[in-house]
């Protein structure tokens, strides 16, 4: 850095007859001009005394830090040494040398050559080529050189600043890049533990630590048994990780929600609790909470900085920022789950209230939904499709809300016009659900669950494969439940009889393939289990309900 | 054992500084240019081992720069890393045509860029000692 510009500004001095050289901060020469005045070149290379005097000049300057002007005894040569000082500290020295009038003249020259042990004859032509200067001139030159030294110092300072800034900028870029990567990878459809593991890996690489672990509890119930996610090298059991996090989370927090411990073996906080027991596998740690203003999900540990470095506020800050985003994401997951459960709860409530009008149909919709899901799964349908069938099953009789109670709850046989009224409930239900875009895809099950494959069903008399799959499945589920529960007009049939009825009507009322798949199931057991299906268990199984809704609604 | 030379081109000088410090600290010789034209001249003069260039530069873009360099046998084999703002993409065809081996979005991870440069140097041993 020093020497690159040296060539540029030493050249004009040479032409003036002033010899400038560059020395480092240890008093060693590092820069000689490419084209020094020849005389000085010879003096430097051949005269031990000359070299000695110049070196002495520099070392004196090194000691007392001042700029010296030393006249050699006869005053023929004047030399000065200027320190290049950055922030008070010399980074190098400029030594400049010029010849005075006392150099001119034969006898003076002869004396000069013998003093410095250089050959007079060789040096004579060189001496003629070099200018001499008045003392006042040399004074001015010395001022200029001092200025140059000062500029050099400033330039070195500036370069250092730039390097320092660039380093910090590079770190900031890493952080920014990490935050982008982590942010774009977060989607609500993946499990929180998986997502958190990915984030831990990213942090591991960017911050240069040996291991990153997260202690996660999504809900209050999990606090006793949190999930532990690890990335990198952590020679400790999950239980130990949890224990360490617990300890640290109770320490004083001075940097926001982060605790930084660079010497685990000897650390203790003001309450005198220590973490020395973990020092076998943990020498340094940063601990961070995973929490938003409303919810706490646990915390994160970053262990053992690589290459013996310590954790500073910058790493703690980065870790905090990244996991703050994770916390926001976890909160979304929690809210989403709550929303799903709320939604399912509302649907169940609605459906129960319709079924409750007729004591014989209490729980009917829940059971049909459940049977429908079993049939769908037996046919190998996807989770989303099965869930849609379930939802459609829950809502299949919603149209009954539009049927008068006289008809719904009539004890005796229905008259023809009363039957006609009852047969309107699929269309009423479909009309209600068609108003809501998110459940449009459930309408086929609601509208067509009373169609028959032989075309003699209602409302539209569709036949065979024209009946949407949802309708065919729910028809079977609906009939099975109707047969095996008490009704106003007859008692419940035993399962074996119901099985016989299904077999008899396969191909006419029921889709034969579905009937076959259904009959392969253990229906006695299925019926038994269906009686235990309560609203609570159904709500528990509500995960993917929202996904099924929104994905289905978008089709 | 000659050190490798990396040419860095970007109209944003702070990016030049960041890459310079990262690459120099890793032992590379770094030459920098603030626009495509200067980068082209430097590439022709110095024959760097790897080029890291911004895509969107005034005058000559990163892709145009590399395409030009392909026309000259002396610079045709220099592999390049393209830095682009998020949301811009380059067709793979175009990349292969001009020697761009890798596209990295900004803000980039300096560590990642260094890793890519090292990989490119390993893959092209004939370029040692420019």
**Chain A residue with minimum CA distance to B25:** A167
| DSSP symbol at A230 | E
Q: Is the pLDDT of residue A255 over 50?
A: no
Three-state SS for A484-548 is CCCCCCCCCCCHHHHHHHHHHHECCCECHHHHHHHHCCCHHHHHHHHHCCCHHHHHHCCCCHHHH
Stretch A87-114: mean pLDDT, rounded? 82
Q: Is the pLDDT of residue B130 over 60?
A: no
What is the number of CB-based contacts under 8 A between chain A and chain B? 36
The residues with which B83 forms a beta bridge, in sequence order, are B54, B104
Query: What is the predicted pLDDT for the residue at A280?
Result: 84
Three-state SS for A252-313 is CCCECCEEEECCHHHCECCCCCECHHHCCCCCCEEEEEEECCCCEEEEEEEEEEHHHCCCCH
CA distance B107 to chain A (A): 6
Lowest-pLDDT range of A28-32, A109-113, A382-386: A28-32
Partner residue facing B21 (CB), from A170, A177, A178:
A170
DSSP output for A8-49: HHHHHHHHHT-EEEEEETTS-EEEE-SS--HHHHHHHHH-HH
Residues of chain A in contact with residue B111, where contact means CB-CB under 8 angstroms, are 174, 205-206
Edge-first strand order for the sheet with A77-86 is A29-32, A19-24, A89-99, A77-86, A68-71
Complex confidence, ipTM: 0.86
| Cα distance between residue A439 and residue A406, in whole Å | 30
> Which pLDDT band holds residue A445 (cuts at 50, 70, 90)?
very high
Residues of chain B in contact with residue A205, where contact means CB-CB under 8 angstroms, are 111
Whether residue B21 and residue A166 make contact (CB cut-off 8 A), yes or no, is yes
> Which pLDDT band holds residue B51 (cuts at 50, 70, 90)?
very high
Closest listed residue to residue A304, CA positions, set A192, A181, A209: A209
Query: What is the predicted pLDDT for the residue at B125?
Result: 53
**Chain A residue with minimum CA distance to B105:** A177
> Which pLDDT band holds residue A555 (cuts at 50, 70, 90)?
very low
Chosen for mutation from A161, A166, A175, A208 (greatest number of chain B CBs closer than 10 Å) is A166
More confident residue, A476 or A261: A476
Q: Is the pLDDT of residue A96 over 60?
A: yes
Closest listed residue to residue A100, CA positions, set A174, A190, A18, A208: A18
B87 vs A: CB within 8 A: no
Query: What is the predicted pLDDT for the residue at A550?
Result: 53
What DSSP element (H or E) covers B7?
A: strand B5-9
Query: What is the predicted pLDDT for the residue at A128?
Result: 82
Stretch A112-121: mean pLDDT, rounded? 84
CA distance A161 to chain B (A): 11
**Chain B residue with minimum CA distance to A207:** B111
Stretch A419-444: mean pLDDT, rounded? 92
More confident residue, A432 or A254: A432
Neighbours of A360 (CB within 10 A): 14
CA distance A29 to chain B (A): 25
DSSP output for B12-42: -HHHHHHHHHHHHHTT-EEEEESSHHHHHHH
Q: How far is CA A429 from the centre of its chain?
A: 46
CA distance A308 to chain B (A): 19
Query: What is the predicted pLDDT for the residue at A120?
Result: 84
Closest listed residue to residue A44, CA positions, set A117, A106, A109: A117
B101: three-class secondary structure by DSSP? strand
Query: What is the predicted pLDDT for the residue at A99?
Result: 85
Partner residue facing A177 (CB), from B21, B22, B107:
B107
CA distance B70 to chain A (A): 31
CA distance B25 to chain A (A): 10
Q: Is the pLDDT of residue B39 over 90?
A: yes
Query: What is the predicted pLDDT for the residue at B129?
Result: 43
Residues of chain B in contact with residue A206, where contact means CB-CB under 8 angstroms, are 109, 111
Query: What is the predicted pLDDT for the residue at A309?
Result: 78
Whether residue B17 and residue A178 make contact (CB cut-off 8 A), yes or no, is no
Whether residue B17 and residue A174 make contact (CB cut-off 8 A), yes or no, is no
What DSSP element (H or E) covers A365?
A: helix A364-378
Neighbours of A379 (CB within 10 A): 16
> Which pLDDT band holds residue A72 (cuts at 50, 70, 90)?
low
Whether residue B14 and residue A169 make contact (CB cut-off 8 A), yes or no, is yes
Stretch A239-267: mean pLDDT, rounded? 78
What DSSP element (H or E) covers A479?
A: helix A469-483
CA distance A149 to chain B (A): 26
B108 vs A: CB within 8 A: yes
Residues of chain A in contact with residue B108, where contact means CB-CB under 8 angstroms, are 173, 177
Q: Is the pLDDT of residue A499 over 70?
A: yes
Query: What is the predicted pLDDT for the residue at A554?
Result: 42
CA distance B100 to chain A (A): 22
Residues of chain B in contact with residue A4, where contact means CB-CB under 8 angstroms, are none
Query: What is the predicted pLDDT for the residue at A497?
Result: 93
| Cα distance between residue A432 and residue A103, in whole Å | 115
In sequence order, what are the residues at sequence separation of 6 or more whose Cβ sits closer than 8 angstroms to the Cβ of residue A26?
A: none
Chosen for mutation from A161, A167, A170 (greatest number of chain B CBs closer than 10 Å) is A170
Most confident of A64-68, A77-81, A184-188, A476-480: A476-480
User: Would you list which residues of chain A are within 8 Å, Cβ to Cβ, of chain B?
Assistant: 162-163, 165-167, 169-170, 173-174, 176-178, 180, 205-206
Burial A157-177 (b: 16+ CB within 10 A, else e): eeeeeeeeebbebbbebbbeb
B34 vs A: CB within 8 A: no
Query: What is the predicted pLDDT for the residue at A189?
Result: 62
Cis peptide before B107 (omega within 30 of 0): yes
Residues of chain B in contact with residue A169, where contact means CB-CB under 8 angstroms, are 14, 17-18
Closest listed residue to residue A311, CA positions, set A328, A289, A329, A287: A287
Query: What is the predicted pLDDT for the residue at A2?
Result: 60
Q: What confidence tens digit (pLDDT) does each residue in A299-342 have?
A: 999 998 887 778 887 788 888 888 888 888 888 888 888 888 88
Q: Is the pLDDT of residue A238 over 80?
A: yes
**pTM greater than 0.80 (yes/no):** no
More confident residue, A445 or A358: A445
| Cα distance between residue A319 and residue A255, in whole Å | 12
Whether residue A206 and residue B17 make contact (CB cut-off 8 A), yes or no, is no
**Chain A residue with minimum CA distance to B86:** A180
CA distance A178 to chain B (A): 8
B21 vs A: CB within 8 A: yes
Lowest-pLDDT range of A32-41, B48-57, B77-86: A32-41
Helices (H) and strands (E) counted in chain A, each on its own, are 21, 10
Q: Is the pLDDT of residue A254 over 60?
A: no
Q: Distance of CA A317 to CAs A210, A260, A269, A312, B113, Å?
A: 18, 10, 21, 9, 23
The residues with which B81 forms a beta bridge, in sequence order, are B52, B102
Q: What confidence tens digit (pLDDT) does each residue in B81-125 have?
A: 999 987 777 788 888 888 899 999 888 999 999 999 999 998 765
B85 vs A: CB within 8 A: no
B18 vs A: CB within 8 A: yes
Q: Is the pLDDT of residue A158 over 80?
A: yes
């Amino acid at each position: 850095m020093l020497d690159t510009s040296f060539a540029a500004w030493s050249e004009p001095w040479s032409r003036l007859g002033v010899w400038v050289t560059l020395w480092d901060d240890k008093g060693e020469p590092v820069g000689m001009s490419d084209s020094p005045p020849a005389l000085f070149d010879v003096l430097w290379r051949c005269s031990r005394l000359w070299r000695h005097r110049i070196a002495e000049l520099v070392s004196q300057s090194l000691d007392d830090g001042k700029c010296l002007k030393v006249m050699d005894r006869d005053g023929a040569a004047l030399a000065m040494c200027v320190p290049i000082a950055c922030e008070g500290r010399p980074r190098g020295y400029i030594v400049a040398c010029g010849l005075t009038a006392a150099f001119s003249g034969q006898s003076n020259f002869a004396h000069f050559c013998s003093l410095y042990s250089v050959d007079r004859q060789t040096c004579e032509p060189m001496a003629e080529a070099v200018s001499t200067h008045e003392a006042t001139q040399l004074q001015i030159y010395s001022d200029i050189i001092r200025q140059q030294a000062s500029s050099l110092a400033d330039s070195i300072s500036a370069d250092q600043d730039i390097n320092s800034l660039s380093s910090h900028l590079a770190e900031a870029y890493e952080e920014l890049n990490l935050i982008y990567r982590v942010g774009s990878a977060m989607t609500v459809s993946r499990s929180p533990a998986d997502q958190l593991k990915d984030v831990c890996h990213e942090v591991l690489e960017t911050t240069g630590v040996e291991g990153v672990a997260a202690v996660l509890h999504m809900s209050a119930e999990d606090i006793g048994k949190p999930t532990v996610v690890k990335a990198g090298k952590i020679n400790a059991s999950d239980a130990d990780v949890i224990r360490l996090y617990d300890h640290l989370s109770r320490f004083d927090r001075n940097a926001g929600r982060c605790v930084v411990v660079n010497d685990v073996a000897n650390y203790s906080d003001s309450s005198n609790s220590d973490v020395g027991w973990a020092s076998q596998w943990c020498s340094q740690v940063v601990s961070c909470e995973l929490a938003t203003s409303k919810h706490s999900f646990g915390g994160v540990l970053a262990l053992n900085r690589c290459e013996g470095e310590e954790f500073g506020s910058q790493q703690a800050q980065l870790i905090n920022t990244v996991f703050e985003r994770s916390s926001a994401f976890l909160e979304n997951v929690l809210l989403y789950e709550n929303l799903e459960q709320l939604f399912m709860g509302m649907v169940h409530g609605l459906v129960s209230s319709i079924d409750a009008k007729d004591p014989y149909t209490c729980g009917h919709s829940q059971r049909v939904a459940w049977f429908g899901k079993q049939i769908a799964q037996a046919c190998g349908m996807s989770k989303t499709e099965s869930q849609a069938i379930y939802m459609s099953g829950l809502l299949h009789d919603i149209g009954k809300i539009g049927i008068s109670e006289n008809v719904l709850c009539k004890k005796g046989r229905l008259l023809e016009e009363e039957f006609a009224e009852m047969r309107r409930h699929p269309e009423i239900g479909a009309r209600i659900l068609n108003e809501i875009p998110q459940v449009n895809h459930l309408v086929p099950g609601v509208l067509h669950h009373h169609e028959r494959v032989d075309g003699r069903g209602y409302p539209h008399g569709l036949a065979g494969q024209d009946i949407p799959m949802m309708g065919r499945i729910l028809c079977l589920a609906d009939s099975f439940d109707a047969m095996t529960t008490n009704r106003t007009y007859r008692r419940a049939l035993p399962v074996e009889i119901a099985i016989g009825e299904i077999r008899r009507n396969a191909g006419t009322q029921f889709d034969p393939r579905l009937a076959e798949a259904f009959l392969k199931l253990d229906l006695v057991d299925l019926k038994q289990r269906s009686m235990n299906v309560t609203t609570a268990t159904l709500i528990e199984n509500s995960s993917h309900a929202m996904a099924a809704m929104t994905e289905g609604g978008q089709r | 054992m000659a050190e490798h030379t990396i040419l860095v081109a970007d109209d944003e000088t702070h990016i030049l500084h960041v890459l310079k410090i990262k690459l120099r600290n890793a032992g590379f010789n770094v030459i920098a240019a603030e626009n495509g034209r200067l980068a082209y001249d430097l590439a022709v003069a110095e024959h760097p081992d790897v080029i890291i260039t911004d895509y969107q530069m005034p005058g000559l873009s990163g892709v145009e720069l590399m395409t030009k360099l392909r026309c000259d046998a002396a610079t045709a084999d220099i592999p390049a890393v393209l830095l682009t703002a998020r949301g811009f993409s380059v067709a793979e065809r175009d990349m292969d045509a001009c020697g761009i081996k890798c596209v990295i979005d900004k803000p980039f991870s300096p560590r990642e860029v260094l890793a890519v440069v090292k990989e490119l140097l390993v893959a092209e041993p004939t370029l040692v000692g420019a």
